Structure 1
Amino acid sequence: MSTFKTNIIAGPLWSNDEAQKLGPRIAAAHLGKFTGQWNTIVQGQMSVIEVELNAEPTGSTEYTLNVLAGPIWSDEDAKAICPSICASYGGTWNGQWTTVVEGKMSVCSCVFKF
Structure 2
Amino acid sequence: MSTFKINIIAGPLWSNDEAQKIGGRIAAAHLGKFTGQWSTIVEGQMSVIEVEYNTQPTGSTEYTMDVLAGPIWSNEDAKEICPSICASYGGTWNGQWTTVVEGKMSVCGCVFKF
TM-score (norm 1): 0.99
CA distance in 2, matches of 1:34, 1:99: 33
Aligned: 1:103 with 2:103: yes
Trace 1:30-69 onto structure 2 (pairs within 5 A): 30-69=30-69
Trace 1:1-114 onto structure 2 (pairs within 5 A): 1-114=1-114
Q: Alpha-carbon deviation of 1:57?
A: 1.1
Runs of 4+ off more than 6 Å:
none
Aligned-residue identity in percent: 89
RMSD: 0.5
CA distance in 2, matches of 1:85, 1:54: 18
Q: Cα deviations across residues 13-37 of structure 1 (Å, max 9, x unaligned)?
A: 0100000001000000111110000
- Return the letter of the residue paired with 1:12: P
Q: Alpha-carbon deviation of 1:54?
A: 1.0
Unmatched 5+ stretches in structure 2:
none
TM-score (norm 2): 0.99
